Amino acid sequence: MTLKLIVGLGNPGPEYTETRHNAGFWFIDEIASTPLSYQSKFKGLVGEMVQDGRKVYLLKPETFMNKSGESVLALAHFYKILPEEILVVHDELDLPPGAVKLKQGGGHGGHNGLKSIISCLGSNNFNRLRIGVGHPGDAKLVANYVLKKASGADQKLMEDAIWEARRHLSAMVAGDFEPVMNELHRKK
């Protein structure tokens, strides 16, 4: 199934712009050819792109991470987009900086943005592009870790991962996930 919506997860506001939790926003910024505009009915920044003749909506929820699902549901419902036609791009603690993986369906893995989306959509059947940000080593440190800026070396690795994922945008939009998974998953 082709993609009709790409959602980048993050937190709004300049104090969060460079934090690990905003990796999804960074991806949207990388693929958007024009600035997104705030649309209150969707509780987020919205744009459109055309990839190989296919129109795709871009969304950066402005609801904060733990309420991202409200924004995703509003836009998906309005444009009649199925969960299977959505790609959610998010930071992933279980992957090291520089790693990027594509996944279809699955649980939330403790990620508050994914929890909210699953709850609001009533489905976990959407696609995920997981951008590795590393783990602080202790579960008690996670909240503080994802809301902090990465080291220069880790930031560069994350930017490289986003660039690598962007190279596969055409195939992802076309719904040709298996070759993309094979390519991304074998990279170190």
What residue numbers bound the domain in which 94 lies?
Answer: 5-185
What pLDDT does residue 70 have?
98
Domain containing 107 — which CATH number?
A: 3.40.50.1470
Contacts of 97 (CB under 8 A, 6+ apart): 132, 133, 134, 150, 153, 154, 155, 157, 158, 161
What pLDDT does residue 186 have?
86
What pLDDT does residue 140 have?
93
* Residue 59 token pair: 């969304």
Residues making up the annotated binding site for tRNA are: 16, 64, 66, 112
Mean pLDDT by 10 residues, the chain (188 residues): 97 96 97 96 97 96 97 98 98 96 94 97 98 95 94 96 96 96 84
Would residue 135 show up in a list of annotated catalytic residues for this protein?
no
Task: Tally Cβ neighbours within 10 Å of residue 40.
Answer: 8
Number of domains observed in the structure of the chain:
1
Residues making up the annotated binding site are: 16, 64, 66, 112
